[in-house]
Amino acid sequence: MPLIPVVLWTDALVFILLALGVGFGIYAAQHEHLRAPWRQVLHTRTGVITLLVLSSYALIGILDTVHLRLKLPPTTAAAPAQYAPEVVSLLDLALHGLRERQEKTYSAPLATHLFTKEVIEQPDGTLRRDYPRLLHGGRHLTAPASERSADLGWRTVRGAVKGLASWALLTGGILWLVARRRGEPLAQYWLALRRSPHLQPGRTALITLAVLMSIGFIAAELAAAYHLFGTDKVGEDVFYQALKSVRTGLLIGTLTTLVMLPAALLLGIAAGYFRGWVDDLIQYLYTTLNSIPGVLLIAAAILLLQVYLANHASEFTSAVERADLRLLFLCLILGVTSWTGLCRLLRGEALKLREVDYVQAAQALGVGHFTIITRHLLPNVLHIVLITVVLDFSGLVLAEAVLSYVNIGVDPTMNSWGNMINSARLELAREPVVWWSLTAAFIFMFVLVLAANLFADVVRDAFDPRLR
């Protein structure tokens, strides 16, 4: 085999999460009370736009989740197959050019020379202090000062044309399939899509897809010849680091939510519905946990993990596995410390809902507690769960940056927006300022958090039974 798959702990959890999502999607498609709210989400402009933006982030994260080891070239014809010790992902293979192109030190976005002056030896043997040419960025230019602007403009136009052409092919295929399913000619369905107010979300989706694909192809075209967001202190491409950090941000948000959601749902609704000693016990539990400073608990847990990793270094064959275990442990400890807020909200909502007429009638008719919770309480608190989960997702993505800043976040060898910001704190004190690492991390984080918050508002409005 030319490669062997490698499944890390976080990879397995992501695959389980994807399977649960597909299963829930199949289940929701068969039940109208679940299908109707999602249909409402897809019939709003904000819902369609943010869903496509989040899907683009998810695609990058999934590509970076499939890990493997490549086969090494055989030394002799009879030699057994050997595989490289380095673990790479599909995203690494797709971005092989960005991953391998390393400069000497800092360079500005789309630059052709280093950011700092160095002593350069001239052909005649004299020395001159100037900005050296980059090894990879703009190396195809013979006269960068005069050719760079025109080359950037041409590559931007070419990337936009490629993106729109790819979008046209993809859109044509999708429209042909939809028109065939509806039993209409393609021209008739295209005319209806352009004019019908009921198909406005479809038009919004196509326009958003065109914008995203154009941006993606323009970025790919520019990154093929330049460093789109410049390079860092050791000459690594910042755009590559920002793309690799997408998986870390998504895992911090989703896996932590997966850890805290069952405990918050079970304990919060149980405390509000059963009251009495159950309520007292659960309140004591989350009040005690809330009294422990979260940062200190996370720091203690990470330090214990570091001691374990140092004492059992032989159990890990690569640095990627060590970094992955630390990421998993960070998600677990964040989940343990972040479920109390949602639990308190659900307890208060359950205390109110247990007194409404239909719950009292169900109790009087002898309906079981589990049935009352699943059919009457849970649907009426689902909007609170959704908006809280997405807001917590946004907060966790930002919290990773803060924790990495104080060196108790993800492993320093792992790409993350927090590590990028942490490395940028000294760069901002330089003169002139090295601003692009911080800017790249800010742009990617801002778009993800903004899209998640807007999508949460749409989902909340769709699932809130009182608004319906």
* pLDDT for the residue 79: 66
* pLDDT for the residue 57: 93
The per-residue pLDDT string of the chain (468 residues; one tens digit each, 9 = 90 and over) reads 577 888 888 888 888 888 888 887 888 788 777 788 888 888 888 889 999 999 999 999 999 998 888 877 776 666 677 777 788 888 888 888 888 888 888 888 988 888 888 877 777 777 778 788 888 888 888 888 888 889 999 999 999 999 999 999 998 888 888 888 877 787 777 777 777 777 777 888 888 999 999 999 999 999 988 988 989 888 888 999 999 999 988 888 888 888 888 888 888 888 888 888 888 898 888 888 888 777 778 888 888 887 877 777 777 777 788 888 888 888 888 888 888 888 888 888 888 888 888 888 888 888 887 888 888 888 788 778 877 887 778 778 777 777 777 777 788 788 888 888 888 877 777 777 888 888 998 899 899 989 988 888 888 788 766 665
User: For residue range 98-115, what is the model confidence (pLDDT) as tens digits?
Assistant: 888 888 888 889 888 888
Strand, coil or helix: 23: helix
Answer for the pair 42, 201: CB distance below 8 angstroms, yes or no: yes
How far apart, in Å, are the Cα atoms of 398 and each of 18, 103, 403, 445?
23, 30, 9, 8
Phi/psi at 83 (5° precision): -120, 150
Is the N-terminal amide bond of 432 cis, ω within 30° of 0? yes
Answer for the pair 96, 276: CB distance below 8 angstroms, yes or no: no
* pLDDT for the residue 299: 80
- Look up the pTM and report it: 0.86
Q: In what order do the strands lie in the sheet with 88-89?
A: 3-6, 67-70, 88-89
Strand, coil or helix: 121: strand
* pLDDT for the residue 465: 61
Burial of 29 (0-12, 13-18, 19+ CB in 10 A): exposed
How far apart, in Å, are the Cα atoms of 31 and each of 34, 187, 460?
6, 33, 19
* pLDDT for the residue 34: 74
- Provide, for the chain, the percentages of residues in helix, strand and coil under a 3-state DSSP scheme, each rounded to the nearest 5: 70, 5, 25
* pLDDT for the residue 14: 87
Answer for the pair 185, 179: CB distance below 8 angstroms, yes or no: yes
Amino acid at 387: I
Structure tokens at 193: 């899509």
Structure letter (DSSP) for residue 132: P
Strand, coil or helix: 59: helix
* pLDDT for the residue 212: 92
Q: Which of 400, 416, 437 has its CA nearest to residue 245? A: 416
Phi/psi at 98 (5° precision): -65, -35
